[in-house]
DNA sequence: CGTATGACGTGCA
DNA sequence: GTGCACGCCATAC
């Protein structure tokens, strides 16, 4: 199928598991164009699909870039998902602390 | 077809 | 650490 990048991105974002977040770049990579992270955000912004958890898509810093409803609202939603936040930054529980 | 736009990412000062 | 500028890709008009 000639699925446009948009369709792929939407499908990928819709497949994001609860409590997880992907960066625009990751989505772009999964879509087949690691350099189209720009288009990814562009697509989501123009697409207001209810089945697209765009709030699970964040920037490279795991920060909310911009949302139609307001970043704070998305943060609240993600908090319910089980994630934690530091202002607009998502707190990653990285195991890189060796003993932790 | 060409131009303009955009919810980004990275590099450098 | 912060701020600025450039580059990239896809979509819409």
pLDDT digits (tens, 9 = 90+) for A5-24: 899 999 999 999 998 999 99
Question: Angle between the A24-31 and A5-14 helix axes, to the nearest 10 degrees?
Answer: 120
- Per the structure, the complete domain to which residue A87 belongs is given by 5-91
**CATH number of the domain encompassing residue A60:** 1.10.10.10
pLDDT, tens digit, 9 for 90 and up, residues A74-91: 888 888 998 888 888 998
A9 within some domain: yes
A73 touches strand B (CB under 7 A): no
Residue closest to A31 by CA, chosen among A17, A11, A14, A45: A11
A56 within some domain: yes
| Total of domains in chain A | 1
A96 within some domain: no
pTM for the full model?
Answer: 0.86
| B8 closest protein residue (CA to C1') | A38
A14 within some domain: yes
A44 within some domain: yes
Contact A57, A43 (CB under 8 A): no
With 0-12 / 13-18 / 19 or more C-beta atoms within 10 angstroms meaning exposed / middle / buried, residue A64 is buried
A99 within some domain: no
Confidence tier at A68 by pLDDT (50, 70, 90): confident
Selected catalytic residue, list A36, A54, A57, A64: A54
- Whole-number Å distance, CA A42 to C1' C8? 13
Confidence tier at A99 by pLDDT (50, 70, 90): very low
């Amino acid at each position: 199928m000639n699925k446009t990048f948009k369709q792929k991105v939407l499908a990928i974002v819709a497949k994001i598991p609860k409590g997880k977040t992907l960066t625009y770049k990751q989505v772009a990579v999964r879509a087949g164009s690691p350099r189209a992270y720009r288009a990814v955000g562009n697509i989501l912004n123009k697409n207001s699909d209810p089945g697209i958890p765009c709030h699970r898509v964040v920037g490279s810093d795991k920060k909310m870039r911009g949302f139609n409803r307001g970043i704070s609202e998305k943060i609240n939603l993600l908090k319910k998902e089980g994630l934690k936040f530091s202002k607009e930054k998502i707190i990653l529980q990285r195991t890189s602390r060796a003993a932790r």
